[in-house]
């Protein structure tokens, strides 16, 4: 190698060894945000948290009321809402792409949605703990992509219409609590680790509850891929 290229090569090696820069944590910051529904009659909600503690529930008078707590300034959550005619599109996102917590970082979201607005809910969750109390919401569809985290989803409530839940797993653990007063159909496929089922009976390659065949309202749960554990509990 020519001598004139040696400084460039050394600089490249230095940069290559410094690609991963740990976040700088500081004092806790607390922030509240509200989002008005506007004229929308149906809303798609996209939630993307790479790492942290996520809570989702109902009971909001607005489309969404959110409380955020974090101690990395660059991780201030991004909230965007667009409404076109009868349709709304809401996103809540952790900035900066893929992130991980190294011990001193804190990242917590508490999101509450309006119970009466029909929602298509899409959640991408990486590492940490997520609790989703969705039973009071008016759900059209629920989609969850999870990584190494742990998710507790509670669907117990009194839905007025059918909806589907799709969980695409990673190496984490998902627990789904299902109502007994509506029909439930559940199936799982892919490279799953353990599948623990309680309160449902097996029919061929799927599970149903006692109310399924005569139910006016049905929930369909599909779990796909990943090597983690899935717990399906009907009660």
Question: What is the three-class DSSP state of 13?
Answer: helix
Q: Please answer whether residues 229 and 193 qualify as being in contact, where contact means their C-beta atoms are separated by less than 8 angstroms.
A: yes
* Tokens coding 124: 């991408």
The residues spanned by each domain of the chain are 26-234
pLDDT tens figures, 144-174: 999 998 999 999 999 999 999 999 988 888 9
The CA angle 166-168-170, to the nearest 5 degrees, is 155
The Cα 22–Cα 151 span in angstroms is 26
| Alpha-carbon span 205 to 189, nearest angstrom | 9
Half-sphere exposure of 154 (CA within 13 A, CB side): 13
pLDDT digits (tens, 9 = 90+) for 75-97: 999 999 999 989 999 999 999 75
Q: Is the pLDDT of residue 21 over 70?
A: no
What pTM was estimated for this model as a whole? 0.87
**DSSP per-residue string spanning 121-138:** EEEEEEEEEEEEE-TTS-
User: Hey, which residues does 192 pair with through a beta bridge?
Assistant: none
- Percentage of residues in the chain with pLDDT exceeding 90? 70
Question: In this structure, what token pair is assigned to residue 201?
Answer: 């009976």
- Whether the Cβ atoms of residue 82 and residue 89 lie closer than 8 Å to each other: yes
């Amino acid at each position: 190698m020519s001598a004139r290229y040696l400084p460039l090569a050394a600089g490249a090696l230095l940069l290559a060894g410094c690609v991963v820069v740990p976040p700088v944590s500081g004092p806790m910051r607390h922030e509240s945000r509200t989002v008005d529904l506007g004229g929308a009659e149906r809303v798609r909600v996209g939630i993307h948290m790479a790492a942290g503690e996520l809570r989702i529930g109902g009971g909001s008078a607005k489309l969404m009321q959110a409380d955020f707590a974090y101690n990395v300034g660059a991780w201030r959550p991004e909230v965007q809402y667009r409404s076109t005619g009868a349709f709304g599109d809401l996103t809540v996102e952790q900035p900066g792409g893929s992130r991980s917590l190294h011990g001193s970082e804190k990242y917590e979201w508490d999101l509450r949605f309006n119970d009466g607005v029909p929602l298509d809910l899409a959640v991408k969750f990486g590492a940490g703990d997520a609790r989703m109390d969705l039973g009071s919401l008016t759900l059209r569809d629920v989609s969850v992509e999870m990584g190494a985290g742990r998710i507790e989803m509670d669907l117990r409530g009194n839905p007025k219409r059918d909806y589907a839940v799709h969980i695409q797993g990673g190496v984490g653990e998902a627990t789904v609590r299902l109502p007994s007063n509506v029909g439930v159909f559940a199936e799982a496929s892919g490279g799953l680790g353990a599948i623990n089922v309680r309160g449902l009976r097996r029919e061929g390659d799927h599970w149903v509850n006692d109310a399924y065949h005569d139910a006016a309202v049905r929930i369909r749960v599909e779990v796909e891929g990943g090597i983690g554990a899935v717990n399906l509990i009907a009660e």
